[in-house]
A and B are shown apart, each in its own frame.
Chain A
């Protein structure tokens, strides 16, 4: 995927101005940054949800995983999946629900699910929706540590089955190290760091060699090494 001359302004204020950037297809790229760094704006630009200057090439069809599961309360779990799917067979839906650990919960309402289960439904929805690029906007930020770890592993497993391009917005360095192959760091709408994280698949709780460098890039002024 190529991002060429991406710029987003609100009135006179520039909220995002990126140099030309190429994201490797079939890999997970973490987008790190503090609040207001322009991370979500970048996702919205890639998904075509917001107007912008510059071009996005090769994103194809996008799917989205939000911070809030955004499940419709009046629909069942199956109804929520069908709401976004143009076509989806019962078999596909129940198989995906089984993959995310919700086998037999097709008829449950969102109010009957725990916070983690709701996020699993959102994960199922994002992976079931036909896409070339998956956009994830801090989907695990409101979860407890052990739940976060298990959902990160689940995301990794689901990604491994089809290996789509993923843009994963987070402000948690650990999450990025656990899931992503590459991390780009945004600060005040500009790119201030680009890190190759190798093959990822790190243990969420183990100390990471790249952790300090990423924290420095996130918190220090000026471009990172």
Chain B
């Protein structure tokens, strides 16, 4: 454990050294700002009210997209595990959603919806197939392990879903939720950049790029990366608390 932490710390130091080396090779602050300039900008961002408004907006959009995708995935995967016809119906829809280009979807959504809603919808459309697949795999495993029990004792549909399938599926889905939520953050920010959403980290990045405020752009990117780590870590902690019985 301690050894792994040392290697992880070494990787961070290596990335930092590459940045410093690249800065001295490029020597152009408009292409690559120095590490210290970025840190200074990061500090400035952390005490600015506008940043926290953007941060809150992005976080809210990410959580909204994740929650909606999760509810949709739970509902549809539950239907799919109960009926092969429903599973066959959703299979091509999920495949299409998985392969459709994200940027194209954002551009289309911008025609149909507002700048604030488009990033949420695109994030939802990207997260849903991942959550649906994770949910369906977990439900299938529960069905394989306890399907005979339910058939033998003629357990009703609602009891099967709420007492067996969902609690049994929660640990594996929660274990993946962190990485899926982190991916949701990336997609939401990408959507915000393209949609130039007001009160958003993506919108702030777009502003920084247009104003050639490169240290600010890098500082915001760094903050999004840190937020992604925090979300992943938080989910991991949550899943550990919730699934104590598995350990």
Which residues of A are at the interface with B, using a C-beta cutoff of 8 A?
A: 47, 49, 62-64, 66, 70, 72-75, 79, 83-84, 109, 111, 129, 135
Taking A72-B146, A74-B168 as contacts, is the C-beta distance between A47 and B245 under 8 angstroms? no
B245 touches A73 (CB 8 A): yes
Which residue of the partner chain, among B145, B152, B164, contacts A64 with CB atoms under 8 Å?
B152
Which residue of the partner chain, among B148, B152, B155, B167, contacts A74 with CB atoms under 8 Å?
B167
Per the 8 Å Cβ criterion, residues 163-210 of B in contact with A are: 163-164, 167-168
B153 touches A66 (CB 8 A): no
Q: Considering the chains assembled together, what is the distance between the CA atoms of A70 and B168 in angstroms?
A: 13
In the complex, given contacts A47-B152, A62-B152, what are 14 additional A-B residue pairs having Cβ atoms less than 8 angstroms apart? A49-B151, A49-B152, A64-B149, A64-B152, A70-B149, A72-B164, A72-B168, A74-B167, A74-B245, A75-B167, A83-B159, A111-B245, A129-B153, A135-B152
Q: Considering the chains assembled together, what is the distance between the CA atoms of A66 and B77 in angstroms?
A: 28
B148 touches A70 (CB 8 A): yes
B2 at the A/B interface (Cβ < 8 Å)? no
Which A residues touch B146, using CB under 8 A?
Answer: 70, 72
B246 at the A/B interface (Cβ < 8 Å)? yes
Which A residues touch B167, using CB under 8 A?
Answer: 72, 74-75
- Closest 3 pairs (CB-CB, A-B): A64-B152, A84-B153, A70-B149
Binary per-residue interface labels of chain B (195-228) against chain A in the complex, 1 for a CB within 8 Å, 0 otherwise: 0000000000000000000000000000000000
Which residue of the partner chain, among B148, B164, B246, contacts A66 with CB atoms under 8 Å?
B148
B148 touches A49 (CB 8 A): yes
Best-surrounded residue of B153, B164, B246 (most CB of chain A within 10 A) = B153
Which A residues touch B145, using CB under 8 A?
Answer: 70
Which residue of the partner chain, among A73, A75, A129, contacts B246 with CB atoms under 8 Å?
A73
6 contacts between A and B (CB under 8 A): A66-B148, A70-B145, A72-B146, A73-B246, A74-B168, A83-B163
Q: Considering the chains assembled together, what is the distance between the CA atoms of A49 and B151 in angstroms?
A: 7
A83 touches B164 (CB 8 A): yes
* Distance of B244 from chain A, by nearest CB (Å): 10
Nearest opposing residue in chain B for A135, CB measure: B152
Nearest opposing residue in chain B for A125, CB measure: B153
Which B residues touch A129, using CB under 8 A?
Answer: 153
Nearest opposing residue in chain A for B151, CB measure: A49
* Distance of A88 from chain B, by nearest CB (Å): 12
Q: Considering the chains assembled together, what is the distance between the CA atoms of A143 and B168 in angstroms?
A: 27
Nearest opposing residue in chain B for A47, CB measure: B152
Q: Considering the chains assembled together, what is the distance between the CA atoms of A74 and B245 in angstroms?
A: 7
Which B residues touch A135, using CB under 8 A?
Answer: 152
Which A residues touch B163, using CB under 8 A?
Answer: 72, 75, 79, 83
Which B residues touch A109, using CB under 8 A?
Answer: 245
Q: Considering the chains assembled together, what is the distance between the CA atoms of A109 and B149 in angstroms?
A: 18
Q: Considering the chains assembled together, what is the distance between the CA atoms of A136 and B146 in angstroms?
A: 16
Which B residues touch A62, using CB under 8 A?
Answer: 152
Taking A74-B167, A83-B164 as contacts, is the C-beta distance between A66 and B245 under 8 angstroms? no
Taking A73-B246, A74-B168, A83-B164 as contacts, is the C-beta distance between A66 and B151 under 8 angstroms? no
Q: Considering the chains assembled together, what is the distance between the CA atoms of A72 and B146 in angstroms?
A: 8
A64 touches B153 (CB 8 A): yes
Which residue of the partner chain, among A49, A66, A75, A84, contacts B155 with CB atoms under 8 Å?
A84
Q: Considering the chains assembled together, what is the distance between the CA atoms of A73 and B145 in angstroms?
A: 11
Q: Considering the chains assembled together, what is the distance between the CA atoms of A109 and B145 in angstroms?
A: 18
Per the 8 Å Cβ criterion, residues 133-159 of B in contact with A are: 145-146, 148-149, 151-153, 155, 159
